[in-house]
Structure 1
Amino acid sequence: MKQAAPSNATSVLAPVIMFFILFGTWQFATVGFDIPRWILPNPVSIIETMFVSFSEFAPHIGISIVTIICGFLVAVPIGIMLAALITNFKIIDTTLSPFVIFLVITPLITLVPLLMIWFGFGIEVKMLAVVIQSFPIVMMNSATGFNNVENIRLELMKSLCASRWQTFTMAILPSALPNVFTGIKLASIFATIAAVTSELIGGNIGIGSQIIKYSQYMQTEKAFACIFFTAIIGTTFYGLINLVERKIVRWKI
């Protein structure tokens, strides 16, 4: 039997309750067992640090957001374009697929040091890391959607003597939008991870670099504050894309 979808109130209330349970347990454990703040600060002190020291974090948060968005905006069209090519031309699929799989299975942390040796330590390298990490997941999900369009739609376009471009833009792409947006949402997660990871490895700007700095100086509350900011950035980014999907792909919702 198909389960009923949760109501909007339940969808909001359930994670909020879980949030308070988790953070309440964390707060109780750190205070009750008198755990030193430099080992594990309690969530109240972390949130207080986020507000009190926000001016210290803000420039680095801005750099990370710019890195994520710029890399993401390059990765998405590349991924969709490559998906369109490999689903329409077998030779391109055969040629590119092994390299895309290589990028997917290779941990980014092993590539970033090489990218920095080749291209320096600027923000451009971190954007490149975001692109490398993000476009394959967009491509793979988009290709799945392009390859699973109902035959009746394709036959209709063929009966109307539509060109390959017309068939793609008017039948294939609209039908594949749920898969495309799945790839885009996953890419937003990968983009956040890639940006912060590249900042962890090298450089002194960006929220990732600050996590390393504060950890080295035992400023654990500030390190956790940076982690919380990273989570907020990633969650907000994902939520915005999900909102756009709901506005565009109305037949799926």
Structure 2
Amino acid sequence: MGALVKKGWRPLGVLLLLLCIWEVSVKLANIPGWLLPAPSSIAKEAASGIAGLLPHIQSTIWLSVGGFIIGCTVGVLVAVMLHLLPGVQESVYPLLILSQNVPIIVLAPLLVIWFGFGLLPKIIVITLVCFFPVAVAAMDGFRSVPAEMKHYMVMAGASKIQTFTKLEWPYALSSVFSGLKISATYSVMGAVISEWLGAKHGIGVYMTLASSSFRTDRVFVAIFIIMALSLLFFGVITLAENRLIKWRRRKVM
């Protein structure tokens, strides 16, 4: 914990320095607030409107978490299937890569046409954003298992399923968590994009209303909230990774 605190003060110091430069530059250049508000103005707007922000934040959190869980579950299942079925991997993996070349912002209107303005198209957007990093990271983790360890499992008489559960999955766990951390940050972005499809609450809705009324300070409030949520989700996954990896190490020892 002490090491994290020692490492954490440096980026925090850089962030505070950038905010001070931003504040001073806006004041000296006399930039109008609708064009670029000062950090102090953004903080005042966030503090004064916190009661109205809470429903939007809560909606985005629930949407992000739900889509993240579904997307990561799909990603892990796809990675396991492709790993255990090499013939299917050769046929499907190029299609997975091709699916990521379609921008989500372009696909979103089609999802509305096909599934309406309900919850389903929003979950699909977040799932599409989250599943690919997890799937690719997990597959890379499976492939990184040393060949001699696989050979040892075969010599010990282990089946393919036993080799996967006892060797390949534990070995790939660190790679899976790397994908989870990427997806955790992407889930917030996916939730905000999905809220542009016609939600009643959410940071995406708040940002759209602020932008249409030229409330640049509120737009920046939304941006900082998105950043904070992304960092929060990233931190939760990192904490879970540290706990699980330590638990596995203690069990092995």
Above 0.5 in TM-score?
yes
Contact 1:38–1:220 (8 Å) recurs in 2: yes
2:232 counterpart residue number = 236
1:157 partnered with 2:156:
no
Query: In 1, distance between residues paired with 2:20 and 2:197?
Result: 33
* Letter paired with 1:53: G
1:99 partnered with 2:90:
no
2:123 counterpart residue number = 127
Change (3 A) 1:127 1:44: same
Query: In 2, distance between residues paired with 1:190 and 1:117?
Result: 24
1:221 counterpart residue number = 217
* Letter paired with 2:65: I
Contact 1:204–1:210 (8 Å) recurs in 2: no
2:27 counterpart residue number = 31
Which aligned pairs between 1:197-212 and structure 2 lie closer than 5 A? 197-212=193-208
User: Is the partner of 1:105 in helix, strand or coil?
Assistant: coil
Shift of 1:191: 1.3
Shift of 1:249: 2.3
Query: In 1, distance between residues paired with 2:44 and 2:86?
Result: 56
Greater shift, 52-61 or 197-206, is seen at: 197-206
Which whole-Å deviations, capped at 9, do the CAs of 1:189-240 have from their partners, x for residues lacking one? 2211111122235434211121111111112211211111111111100111
1:139 partnered with 2:139:
no
TM-score with structure 1 setting the length: 0.92
Shift of 1:103: 2.0
Query: In 2, distance between residues paired with 1:9 and 1:59?
Result: 32
Structure 1 residue runs of 4 or more that deviate by more than 4 Å after TM superposition:
none
Which aligned pairs between 1:58-73 and structure 2 lie closer than 5 A? 58-73=54-69
Query: In 1, distance between residues paired with 2:198 and 2:93?
Result: 30
* Letter paired with 1:117: I
Identity of counterpart residues, as a percentage?
A: 29
Q: CA RMSD in A?
A: 1.8
Query: In 2, distance between residues paired with 1:209 and 1:89?
Result: 43
User: Is the partner of 1:184 in helix, strand or coil?
Assistant: helix
Q: Which sections of structure 1, spanning at least 5 residues, go unmatched? A: 1-6
1:115 counterpart residue number = 111
The alignment covers a number of residue pairs equal to 247
1:21 partnered with 2:17:
yes
1:178 counterpart residue number = 174
* Letter paired with 1:159: M
Which whole-Å deviations, capped at 9, do the CAs of 1:86-126 have from their partners, x for residues lacking one? 12212211222122112222211111110011111123311
1:4 counterpart residue number = none
1:79 partnered with 2:75:
yes
1:44 counterpart residue number = 40
Contact 1:200–1:208 (8 Å) recurs in 2: yes
Q: Which sections of structure 2, spanning at least 5 residues, go unmatched? A: none
Shift of 1:155: 2.0
